[in-house]
Amino acid sequence: MPAIHTLETPPATRRAHTVGCTGCAHASACQAGGYGKDELSGLRRIVEKVGLLRDGEYLYRPRTPFRALYAVQSGMAKTVTVDSAGREQVLAFHLPGELFALDAICLGYHDNAVIALGRTQFCRFPFDSLRCLATTQPDVQWHLMHTMSRQIHQQRLSGGDYPAEERMAAFLTDLSDRRAMLGLRADHLPLPMSRADIGNHLRLATETVSRLLARFRDAGFIRIDRQGLDILDGRALRDVGRHLLQG
């Protein structure tokens, strides 16, 4: 398992404040921005834009103070922990509109890192403002709870004891479903992360990831190209992973 990326954190000056979500392609499907609902417009007034980060650059690092929640605006990112032995673990991949850093609230600092996969922009929700907003607007409060609940709920899926093939199929189907929810093409998955990242996340060796994808390709479920893959038979794929999906 290779060591941590050594690219430098981008200077804070690269962060640019913007006024809200107007013009963002994902605004109406964005979890972080409240799916464009009027009652949650407050959320979209406190957002700041961060980026552009390049592949491998850090949004934040472990042991840095928790000041804000984030979402991906465009591109993709991964959350990674490093344990006491230096081994890293990919906890999640983030698609546009998905809120993260929720786990840092209880600690007051980040104990994991978020790293850009390819060129990626982020939205930043300063936690002070958010807290303020939540005390005055029950809708915002409710939305946050809802989001956290969903995250608790979803994480449980990835823990299960299922064969490698099922985990991989479920992973691809889940990515596809999340893209569909965002209004993106569900039959095409860009995979800017390495095979090692996918394997780490699914508790598989990179060789196994490669072999499983080859198997799905040979079965006619997917077509693989350099930047990702096309889903040719989503039904079949979903069926392989069915035990892991949505209980």
Is residue 112 involved in binding a second copy (CB under 8 A)?
Answer: yes
What minimum distance in Å lies between the beta carbon of 228 and DNA?
A: 10
Please spell the DSSP secondary structure of 100-131, one letter per residue. E-GGGTTTSEE-SEEEEEEEEEEEEEEHHHHH
CB atoms closer than 10 angstroms to residue 31: 20
Tokens of 6: 């050594």
Q: Can the peptide bond before residue 52 be classed as cis, meaning omega within 30 degrees of 0?
A: yes
Is residue 183 involved in binding DNA (CB under 7 A)?
Answer: no
Binds a second copy by CB under 8 A, chosen from 138, 163, 183, 220: 138
Give the residue with the Cβ less far from DNA, 148 or 224. Answer: 224
Work out what residue 150 binds among a second copy, DNA, none; the CB cut-off runs from 5 to 8 Å by kind: a second copy
CB distance 169 to 240 below 8 Å? yes
Is residue 144 involved in binding a second copy (CB under 8 A)?
Answer: yes
Is residue 206 involved in binding a second copy (CB under 8 A)?
Answer: no
Binds DNA by CB under 7 A, chosen from 2, 86, 159, 247: 2
Work out what residue 224 binds among a second copy, DNA, none; the CB cut-off runs from 5 to 8 Å by kind: DNA
Is residue 205 involved in binding DNA (CB under 7 A)?
Answer: yes
Q: What whole-number distance in Å separates Cα of residue 173 and Cα of residue 199?
A: 16
Is residue 138 involved in binding DNA (CB under 7 A)?
Answer: no
60 pairs with which residues across the strands? Answer: 114
Question: Any residues with CB less than 8 A from the CB of 132 and at least 6 apart, and which?
Answer: none
Q: What whole-number distance in Å separates Cα of residue 228 and Cα of residue 170?
A: 16
Is residue 111 involved in binding a second copy (CB under 8 A)?
Answer: yes
Is residue 164 involved in binding DNA (CB under 7 A)?
Answer: yes
Q: Which stretch binds a second copy (CB under 8 A): 2-10, 28-36, 118-126, 155-163?
A: 155-163
Give the residue with the Cβ less far from a second copy, 138 or 183. Answer: 138
The dihedral built from the CA positions of residue 30, 42, 52 and 54, taken in this order, carries a sign that is negative
Q: What whole-number distance in Å separates Cα of residue 28 and Cα of residue 16?
A: 22
Q: At 66, is the secondary structure helix, strand, or coil?
A: coil
222 pairs with which residues across the strands? Answer: 231
Binds DNA by CB under 7 A, chosen from 81, 194, 236, 245: 194
Q: Which residues bind a second copy (CB under 8 A)?
A: 62, 81-85, 87, 89, 91, 102-107, 111-112, 131, 134-135, 138, 141-142, 144-153, 155-156, 158-161, 200, 203, 242-244, 247
